[in-house]
């Protein structure tokens, strides 16, 4: 199932939470939605699924607007637990079984075992991680065509985070479409083939991950902590970002990275090498750090 | 099925009802064990004989028995008691037109008709005491329990709105259907609770006397009224809480105060002679038209025509229930997660 988000805008009074957000999720893809806290990821999901009414714009699923029947093929894991505190795990399973014809009890039992969930347990007694796990179980037991997962690894231990990623990748291998958000950029890079990066309600970058990486390289070097960047590099149009953490200098370069490496070597930098970009680099490169807490990173 | 969660909530409410009714039955049983001797047949006959308005005639029969005839027109009693050696061998009671009014000595309160006085009917050799219940009157007695359960169940939409919309609204069913199915589950639970309450009342009566049900001419209207009043109250609370993000607790609490206070204030100001008093009456009287609880007493003042009062009350409650549920669903459509 493909999704087309078209010029989505959502205002809460004077605050514009989403500002003309557009992106496409191809059918069968794993789509990562990234962004700093408050960027509008959850609001985007809510507007996509009709949980919040957009101020303007539209969302289409296989070219059709959202309708109750869309949810026959859709599962959603909310960022915050929407589970019923007073109900037991097995009652949540029963709720899903009655609501979704695709619900697979055998699959649910396998998933419960995977996450170590006891069907007799009441939700109010579950930890945050276990609640996330139960939400994931409820979604994956339906095995829908489309899964929208808002922070599906939130609160989970690393072992179970890995299990969730494996479930996402397995589902994608079966042709399912998955849209998910996570602050763990490594996880998104591990699973996603498409991403969109949101900042302050706007899409600042969207497309296939491979396409984003193409043409960008990192030049890494060991320098003195108080080293001064060669003056020529400050105005170099090829350089989009310079980051120094202690002795390690990382320069993001679009185009001839070897020439930049040679320039750095000429200034006395040690261990100069050219490495491929990862998604975290792309994210940090795209996101304007201005409103973020002061850190080592910064745009030149 | 999208109403599973509401079904679980309804079961929890019915569990509370079962506990309350169980406690009532235990209390009735304890009362029976404590005061059982008060209601022996001898005491019952003696109490009739002691009445100041009773005319008692005693006759010695040729076979050694004694016959006592008790006529009490004021209470509508005519009883013939036969004894042998002090023990009652036969007791026959007839209901007669009382001096106070109607042929069946019914006492009328606003909106609810009290059941006739208990009658006894005894044949020689066996001694059974019956309590006669009109089924409509029996259901009228379940209205308080109906209001209690309606309050427990009320606000199903607000309960979903309290952090569960991400689960509720991602099911393959429209919001309207979701809301209406939840309401239907709750209304069914309300009816079950009231039928259970009626059954418990009969069971409690059994500790003293054998209940005998009769189907009065107004019974269908009374039963419908008894079921409609709590449903309208449930709908009222649901409408006033439907768009709340947090639980409906405040609405339920304040709702009771307003629903009881409005008719009380209107009653107090009913005969006011000052302009302020008349205004107070006009305001609270108008508000009470929207108050389902008011229809069980304040708005049911038709002593001359109980049937008309029941029908008008029933129609008003039905209209209120539909209007409140419509308002609730309209709000529910616009709520955001």
Mean pLDDT of A158-164: 94
Mean pLDDT of A207-223: 87
Contacts of A45 (CB under 8 A, 6+ apart): A33, A51, A76, A79, A148, A150, A179, A181
Q: Does A109 touch chain B (CB under 8 A)?
A: no
Angstrom distances, CA of residue A93 to CA of A111, A268, B182, B207, B295: 11, 63, 19, 45, 43
Query: CB A78 to CB B166 under 8 A?
Result: yes
d(CA A153, CA A185) in angstroms, rounded, equals 12
Residue B108: per-residue pLDDT: 33
Which uninterrupted H or E stretch holds A274? strand A270-276
* β-pair type (A194-199, A239-245): unpaired
Q: Does B258 touch chain A (CB under 8 A)?
A: no
SS3 at position A13? coil
- Provide the pLDDT confidence category of residue A67 given band limits of 50, 70 and 90: very high
Tell me what the pLDDT averaged over chain B comes to.
Answer: 84
Q: Is the pLDDT of residue A15 over 60?
A: yes
| Residues B75 and B52: beta-carbon distance below 8 Å | no
Q: Is A20 left (phi over 0), alpha (psi -120 to 50) or beta?
A: left
Dig out the tokens for A73 from the structure.
Answer: 């093929």
Query: CB B172 to CB A68 under 8 A?
Result: yes
Mean pLDDT of A191-199: 94
Order across the sheet with A146-150: list the strands.
A74-77, A146-150, A177-181, A30-34, A194-199, A202-208
- % residues pLDDT > 90 (chain A): 69
Residue A36: per-residue pLDDT: 92
Of B2, B5, B171, Cβ closest to residue A84: B5
Q: What is the pLDDT of residues A82-125, one digit of tens each?
A: 999 999 999 999 999 999 999 999 999 999 999 999 999 999 99
Dig out the tokens for B223 from the structure.
Answer: 């039963």
Of B164, B177, B334, Cβ closest to residue A84: B164
Q: What is the pLDDT of residues B10-28, one digit of tens each?
A: 999 999 999 999 999 999 9
Measure A78 CA to nearest chain B CA, in Å. 6
Range with the poorest average pLDDT among A252-256, B169-173, B319-323? A252-256
Q: What is the pLDDT of residues A22-40, one digit of tens each?
A: 999 999 999 999 999 999 9
Q: Is the pLDDT of residue B301 over 70?
A: no
* Dihedral sign from CA coordinates of B233, B239, B240, B245: positive
- Report ipTM for this prediction: 0.83
Residue A263: per-residue pLDDT: 87
Angstrom distances, CA of residue B194 to CA of A251, B275, B293, B320: 76, 43, 16, 20
Residue B40: per-residue pLDDT: 67
Residue A95: per-residue pLDDT: 96
Number of residues that make up chain B: 337
Query: CB B165 to CB A51 under 8 A?
Result: yes
Q: What is the pLDDT of residues B209-241, one digit of tens each?
A: 777 788 888 889 999 999 999 999 999 999 999
Alpha carbons within 13 A on the beta-carbon side of A28: 3
* β-pair type (B130-134, B210-214): parallel
Q: Is the pLDDT of residue A10 over 60?
A: yes
Q: What chain A residue is nearest to B170 in terms of C-alpha separation?
A: A71
- Provide the pLDDT confidence category of residue B208 given band limits of 50, 70 and 90: confident
What's the per-residue H, E or C state across B279-298?
HHHHHHHHHHCCCHHHHHCC
Of A78, A82, A91, Cβ closest to residue B8: A91
SS3 at position B87? strand
d(CA A244, CA B145) in angstroms, rounded, equals 72
Q: What is the pLDDT of residues B96-150, one digit of tens each?
A: 655 544 334 333 333 333 334 444 444 444 445 566 778 998 999 999 999 999 9
Say what the pTM is. 0.79
Of B5, B166, B177, Cβ closest to residue A51: B166
Query: CB B8 to CB A83 under 8 A?
Result: no
Query: CB B336 to CB A72 under 8 A?
Result: no
Q: What chain B residue is nearest to A52 in terms of C-alpha separation?
A: B336
Residue B95: per-residue pLDDT: 62
SS3 at position B215? coil
Measure B164 CA to nearest chain A CA, in Å. 5
Chain A residues closer than 8 Å to B4 by CB: 91, 94-95, 98-99
Residue B39: per-residue pLDDT: 58
- Provide the pLDDT confidence category of residue B93 given band limits of 50, 70 and 90: confident
Torsion of CA A81, A84, A90, A92, to 10 degrees: -70
d(CA B74, CA B44) in angstroms, rounded, equals 17
Chain A residues closer than 8 Å to B166 by CB: 51, 76, 78, 80, 82
Q: What is the pLDDT of residues A198-214, one digit of tens each?
A: 999 999 999 998 888 87
SS3 at position A172? helix
Tell me what the pLDDT averaged over chain A comes to.
Answer: 90
Q: How would you label B270-309 residue by residue, b for 16+ Cβ within 10 Å and e otherwise?
A: eeeeeeeeeebbeebbebbeebbbbbbebbbebeeebeeb
- % residues pLDDT > 90 (chain B): 52
């Amino acid at each position: 199932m493909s999704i087309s988000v078209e010029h989505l805008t959502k205002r809460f009074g004077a605050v514009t939470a989403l500002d003309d957000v557009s992106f496409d999720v191809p059918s069968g893809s794993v789509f990562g939605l990234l962004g700093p806290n408050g960027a509008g990821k959850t609001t985007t999901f809510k507007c996509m699924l009709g949980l919040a009414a957009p101020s303007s714009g539209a969302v289409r699923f296989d070219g059709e607007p959202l309708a109750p029947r869309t949810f026959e093929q859709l599962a959603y894991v909310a960022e915050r637990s929407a589970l019923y505190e007073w109900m037991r795990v097995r009652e949540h399973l029963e709720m899903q079984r009655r609501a979704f014809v695709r619900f697979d009890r055998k699959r649910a039992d396998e998933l419960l075992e995977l996450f170590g969930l006891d069907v007799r347990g009441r939700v109010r007694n579950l930890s945050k991680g276990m609640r996330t796990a139960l939400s994931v179980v409820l979604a994956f037991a339906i095995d829908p065509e489309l899964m929208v997962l808002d922070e599906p690894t939130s609160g989970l231990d690393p072992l179970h985070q890995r299990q969730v990623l494996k479930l996402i990748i397995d589902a994608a291998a079966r042709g399912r479409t998955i849209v998910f958000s996570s602050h763990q950029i490594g996880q998104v890079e591990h699973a996603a083939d498409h991403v969109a990066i949101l900042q302050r309600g706007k899409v600042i970058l969207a497309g296939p991950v491979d396409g984003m990486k193409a043409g960008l390289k990192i030049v890494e070097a060991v320098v003195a902590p108080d080293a001064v960047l060669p003056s020529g590099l400050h105005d170099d149009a090829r350089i989009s970002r310079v980051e120094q953490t202690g002795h390690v200098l990382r320069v993001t370069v679009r185009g001839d990275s070897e020439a930049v490496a040679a320039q750095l070597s000429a200034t006395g930098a040690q261990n100069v090498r050219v490495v491929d970009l990862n998604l975290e680099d792309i994210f940090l490169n795209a996101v304007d750090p201005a409103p973020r807490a002061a850190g080592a990173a910064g745009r030149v | 099925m999208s109403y599973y969660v509401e079904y679980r909530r309804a079961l929890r409410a019915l569990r509370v009802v079962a506990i309350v009714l169980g406690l009532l039955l235990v209390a009735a049983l304890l009362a029976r064990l404590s005061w059982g001797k008060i209601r022996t047949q001898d005491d019952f006959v003696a109490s009739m004989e002691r009445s100041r308005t009773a005319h008692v005639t005693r006759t010695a029969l040729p076979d050694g028995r004694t016959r006592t005839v008790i006529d009490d027109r004021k209470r509508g009693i005519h009883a013939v008691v036969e004894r042998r050696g002090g023990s009652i061998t036969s007791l026959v009671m007839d209901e007669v037109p009382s001096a106070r009014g109607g042929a069946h000595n019914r006492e009328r309160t606003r909106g609810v008709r009290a059941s006739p006085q208990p009658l006894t009917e005894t044949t020689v050799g066996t001694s059974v005491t019956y309590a006669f219940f009109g089924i409509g009157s029996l259901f009228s007695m379940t209205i308080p329990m109906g209001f209690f359960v309606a309050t427990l169940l009320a606000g199903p939409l607000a309960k979903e709105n309290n952090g569960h919309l991400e689960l509720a609204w991602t099911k393959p069913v429209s919001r309207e259907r979701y809301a209406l199915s939840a309401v239907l589950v709750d209304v069914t639970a309300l009816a079950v609770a009231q039928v259970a309450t009626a059954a418990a009342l009969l069971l409690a009566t059994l500790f003293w006397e054998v209940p005998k049900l009769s189907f009065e001419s107004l019974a269908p209207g009374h039963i419908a009224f008894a079921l409609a009043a709590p449903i309208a109250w449930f709908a009222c609370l649901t409408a006033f809480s439907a768009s709340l993000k947090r639980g409906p607790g405040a609405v339920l609490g304040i709702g009771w105060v307003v629903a009881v206070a409005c008719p009380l204030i209107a009653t107090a100001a009913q005969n006011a002679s000052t302009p302020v008093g008349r205004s107070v009456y006009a305001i609270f009287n108008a508000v009470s038209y929207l108050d389902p609880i008011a229809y069980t007493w304040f708005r049911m003042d038709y002593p001359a025509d109980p049937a008309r009062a029941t029908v008008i009350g029933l129609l008003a409650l039905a209209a209120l229930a539909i209007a409140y549920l419509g308002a609730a669903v309209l709000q529910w459509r616009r709520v955001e997660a």
